[in-house]
Structure 1
Amino acid sequence: MNIVEKCLIESISEAHDLNVHDYVPIIKDPPTAAEFFSNYVSKNSPFILKGGICHWTALSKWSPAYFRETMSEKMVTVAVTPNGYADAVNGDRFVMPEEMEMKFCDFLDSIEEGEDESDVFYIQKQNSNMTSDFPEIIGDIESHINWATDAFGAKPEAVNFWMGQKDAITSMHKDHYENLYAVISGEKTFTLHPPCDRPFIPHKNYKPAKYQKVGETWTIKDLLDSQPVPWIAIDPLNPDLETYPMYKNCKTLTASVKAGDLLYLPAMWFHHVTQTNGTIAVNFWYDMDFDWKYSFYQTLDNLSKSVLGT
């Protein structure tokens, strides 16, 4: 171990002790905007608001039967893969899903078939599809989280709708957004690492590619004119510690977000997500403040690339 690695391990261990809980706190009452900002946003600290969206009518209404009644023939964009890993590493490639346009009723059929379905289907467009694609049901939720909007001084940049099979997995990544994630039905499990763990989390550049299904056969098609994609090279649920021994120094938190719960996931936190079959969720992306925390992260990121090669 060189002196830089030793210093990083000691410094980040101290950061864990000072700033990162051993668990994701669960609170029962919504914070005020001031409490949210001072206790969580400024500290870059996640929490779960238990039952935080139980007043939404979506909790009692949203189901396959309701969706069949309200938008059965509606065309929706669905990410389809042979293995559930959309936007994820496969060998030396970063592979994106095939996007299919299909009737909502056909998508629901695939969800209800579950494990009997050979392909994995997931509505996961991250372009504020809740507001642009689902006007029929948008009145069943709130358009924003009041105390978060007051704290950030603006409404969400995007509101996204998520629904998929249990094999649909979100590979580990980070977002430059403050994230309020609401589960309507089912359960999502987030595996989390704080931003300060960046030197321990290996990244590589991968050839961009896309899944393509011809008949009943899946292939991977290289996107030859695209730039390499930097992505995280490790699966937190099955880490290769022989290849990436520094990863063992990460602080790992797990957040189980159930129907009616709201997770605050601060900007720049690394997260990997699994779900139960048919889980439905909505998330609100608020613009992050590019303040000293972002500068600190960029310093760690540059140090990791230039000195550690990660």
Structure 2
Amino acid sequence: MKRVSESCQVLDELADDAYQHLLVARRSDTLPWRRLYTEASLMRTLADLMLQRIPDEATIELCIARLDRILVIAGAPGADRRELVLLLISKIQKDHLPSEPFRCLSPSTLVPSLDVAAVLVLAGPNAVPRHGQPPSISVFQRRLRHEPFLLPGFASDWPAMNEHPWRSLEYLRSVAGRGRIVPVEVGGDYRTDDWTQELIAWESFLDSLDETQRRDQRIVYMAQHNILDQFPSLRADIIVPDYAYTSLSPPSGYPQYRPPANDEQLVINAWLGPKGTVSPGHTDPYFNLYAQIVGRKTVWLAPPSASAHMYPYPPPVSAAPADSVHNPATNNLEPSMSNTTKVDVFCDRTNESRFAMFWEKVVPTALSVTLEPGDVLFFPPGWWHAMRSEDTSFSVSMWF
């Protein structure tokens, strides 16, 4: 028994050491540490389950959380490792933490009622073009891929909008099962000093979005997380538009474009948070199909040509240690993946003198739209964009 305990301690130390290296390693150097974290955590979980003939609930929850960390922190690299992790989670839940299947009767919802008051965007006077009928693939490739456009109601027939409603708290709980944890941002704006990141229980996070259950007054936001990979049942609830598979060439305004490096050349992320959540103005390196599933979200956009007047955070300082950087807007770790402005594009013009060129040069060319449930927005790489949730909001971005 002593040997087993010592072995468990070694596995914990190996996983912790790998995690510490992941915090400071460059993206290209992380694979060995991600694999070490995965293998040590898997073996530690199996040891916990084998040590107790009937594991107690605390041990079970610890095991599931450890397995979720493999998915979230390390990505479960290695042959069949992701499948093994998901299989273990499912088996542990089935054997020790069973839950009732979802029945769509009269579920509680993320958005009990919509405030129909007008939404104002002071820094975006021009409306995003709308297409009542989805354009053909050839028209998209030849003409429409160069600028943003809106497809109203394009996702209205997705399972996420109907038989598997993402607006239902009961469905979101059932699709994950008990004991799961997810990464969240804490704080309304990642440019501020009080912003941080945490791993919290999925059920606690959902409770924080339920206006009838909410006790925590902090703004908690799940941003840019591939929850469809962590909870695979959700992947079947969306239908990726054919536009995402058109293998587009770099646009003239963003010649450095390259598609995502994975096999599918597609990255799907989810965004779930309360009313008032803001993503500040920034750019992304991919074409984006942005689907609004629950609630409303206002999107502000400006073309790549506006970059000279967007007052971005300065480029990274090579001498700064990676682990000393708190604000991701400074881009010390991944400067090519993000570029964030200091301007609050949703505010009034009280700071007009500070960012004079933004108001003079950028605002006249900016676009804005408030997405309704079922809407899909397209915009090319390099376009500046900012988001504001007008209600509790659940969105999906599809980078390609």
SS at match of 1:205: coil
Distance 1:165 1:122, change over 3 A: same
| Structure 2 spans left out of the alignment, 5+ residues | 1-124, 250-258, 332-338
After TM superposition, the runs of 4+ consecutive aligned structure 1 residues lying more than 4 A away are 153-156, 225-228
For residues 88-127 of structure 1, the aligned pairs below 5 Å read 88=191, 90=192, 97-113=195-211, 117-126=216-225
| Selected match of 2:274 from 147, 165, 190 | 165
CA distance in 2, matches of 1:68, 1:121: 17
| Selected match of 2:395 from 262, 272, 281 | 281
SS at match of 1:264: strand
Which is further off, 112-121 or 156-165? Answer: 112-121
Contact residue 72 and residue 105 of structure 1 kept, 8 A: no
Shift of residue 193 of structure 1?
1.1
Shift of residue 102 of structure 1?
2.1
| Structure 1 spans left out of the alignment, 5+ residues | 1-20, 209-221, 287-310
Normalising by structure 1, we get a TM-score of 0.70
Give, as a single letter, the amino acid of the residue that structure 2 aligns with 1:255. V
Contact residue 184 and residue 199 of structure 2 kept, 8 A: no
Distance 1:272 1:182, change over 3 A: same
Instruction: Establish whether residue 81 from structure 1 lines up as the match of residue 190 from structure 2.
Output: no
SS at match of 2:210: helix
CA distance in 2, matches of 1:117, 1:49: 36
For residues 208-287 of structure 1, the aligned pairs below 5 Å read 223-224=323-324, 228-229=330-331, 231-238=340-347, 239=349, 240-248=351-359, 249-250=361-362, 251-286=365-400
SS at match of 2:203: helix
For residues 130-149 of structure 1, the aligned pairs below 5 Å read 130-142=227-239, 144-149=240-245
Which is further off, 256-265 or 228-237? Answer: 228-237
Shift of residue 151 of structure 1?
5.3
Q: Which has the larger radius of gyration?
A: 2
Shift of residue 130 of structure 1?
3.7
Give, as a single letter, the amino acid of the residue that structure 2 aligns with 1:70. V
Normalising by structure 2, we get a TM-score of 0.55
Which is further off, 178-187 or 192-201? Answer: 192-201
Give, as a single letter, the amino acid of the residue that structure 1 aligns with 2:277. A
SS at match of 2:185: strand
CA distance in 1, matches of 2:175, 2:308: 48
Distance 1:102 1:150, change over 3 A: same
SS at match of 1:113: coil
Shift of residue 134 of structure 1?
1.8
CA distance in 2, matches of 1:123, 1:53: 21
Contact residue 297 and residue 391 of structure 2 kept, 8 A: no
Q: Percent identity?
A: 24
Contact residue 181 and residue 281 of structure 1 kept, 8 A: yes
CA distance in 2, matches of 1:204, 1:58: 37
Which is further off, 186-195 or 243-252? Answer: 243-252
CA distance in 1, matches of 2:237, 2:354: 47
SS at match of 1:123: strand
CA distance in 2, matches of 1:277, 1:202: 29
Which structure has the higher relative contact order (CA within 8 Å, separation 6+)? 1
Shift of residue 53 of structure 1?
1.0
